[in-house]
């Protein structure tokens, strides 16, 4: 969960090439047209101009990092976030964003270091707390993840990712009714979010409400047809509801996408 791109703002116009600079700023801010390629182009022009302030350059590096991360180029994004941090060592959002890129690269130790730093710089940074919680989940430190998700939700009640993460972590921990409430709060904010629908479906599966589980897994798969956990969970739900052939087909499809998905579900307390 990256932080939103920062607005690049120039304090005072310069006479030469001002129109072109304004266009670069607009693109680097993710405006007109809003695409990773145009954002990279605008930010690069600002970075290479040779006459911008450190503050503006730090923001341009951060925003270009966000665009590179959106394209899946996490190594390049990390380099840009690091450049932003070098220019502005108290830039909490750049630490948060670099932490996300490290997590995407499965470098959880460095990700946690960056989230720790971001939250030290800004203790009320809910998005960084939620990101640290998501990373703690990856390392199976569920109790610390729960604390961070709760703190993030308290600080920013409209942050759907905090409620969704809290739901998922509680579902794994077996706090099913509480988890269901958290998922419903997340879905009230983002009704079609596949990860949250997948989480709520897992809860229904663990509660033995197989038809409801299938409905939520179906909804998650409409948004993300290759979501292995939803395919596998739907397969288990179908099998337990009596549709053995349909269940086996879903389980097989899930394992083709993610071969170890069955081991993940066993850790969640659910298996064939």
- Residue ranges covered by each domain of the chain: 20-95, 201-272
If you classify domain 20-95 with CATH, what class do you get? mainly alpha
Judging by beta carbons within 10 Å of its beta carbon (0-12, 13-18, 19+), is residue 255 exposed, middle or buried? middle
Q: What is the band of 75 on the pLDDT scale with cuts at 50, 70, 90?
A: very high
Residue 272's pLDDT is what?
A: 67
Q: Does 98 have pLDDT greater than 80?
A: yes
Residue 16's pLDDT is what?
A: 47
pLDDT digits (tens, 9 = 90+) for 173-214: 889 999 999 999 999 999 999 999 999 999 999 999 999 999
Torsion over CA: 33, 39, 41, 43 (sign): positive
Cα 26 to Cα 35, 77, 131, 154, distances in angstroms? 12, 20, 28, 34
Within 10 Å of residue 216's Cβ, how many Cβ atoms? 27
Residue 26's pLDDT is what?
A: 82
Residue 147's pLDDT is what?
A: 96
pTM score of the predicted model: 0.84
Residue 187's pLDDT is what?
A: 97
Residue 12's pLDDT is what?
A: 43
Fold entry, domain 201-272: 1.25.40
- Do 201-272 and 20-95 fall under one CATH topology? yes
Q: What is the band of 18 on the pLDDT scale with cuts at 50, 70, 90?
A: low
């Amino acid at each position: 969960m990256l932080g939103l791109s920062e607005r690049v703002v120039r304090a005072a116009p310069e006479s030469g090439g001002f129109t072109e600079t304004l266009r670069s700023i607009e693109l680097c801010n993710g405006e007109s047209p809003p695409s990773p390629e145009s954002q990279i182009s605008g930010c690069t022009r600002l970075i290479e101009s040779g006459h911008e302030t450190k503050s503006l350059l730090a923001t341009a590096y951060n925003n270009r990092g966000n665009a590179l991360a959106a394209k899946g180029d996490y190594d390049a994004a990390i380099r840009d976030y690091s450049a932003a941090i070098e220019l502005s060592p108290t830039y909490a959002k750049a630490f948060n964003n670099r932490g996300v890129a490290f997590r995407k690269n499965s470098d959880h130790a460095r990700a946690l270091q960056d989230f720790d730093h971001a939250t030290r710089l800004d203790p009320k940074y809910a998005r960084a707390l939620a990101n640290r919680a998501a990373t703690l989940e990856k390392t199976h430190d569920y109790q610390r993840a729960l604390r961070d998700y709760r703190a993030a939700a308290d600080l920013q009640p409209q942050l759907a990712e905090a409620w969704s993460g809290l739901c998922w972590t509680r579902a794994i921990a077996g706090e099913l009714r509480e988890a269901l409430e958290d998922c419903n709060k997340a879905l009230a904010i983002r009704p079609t979010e596949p990860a949250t629908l997948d989480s709520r479906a897992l809860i229904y599966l663990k509660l033995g409400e197989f038809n409801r589980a299938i409905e939520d897994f179906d909804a998650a798969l409409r948004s993300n047809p290759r979501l292995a956990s939803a395919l596998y969970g739907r397969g288990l739900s179908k099998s337990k509801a009596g549709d053995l052939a349909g269940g086996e087909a879903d389980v097989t499809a899930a394992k083709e996408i993610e071969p170890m998905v069955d081991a993940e579900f066993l850790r969640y307390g659910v298996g064939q």
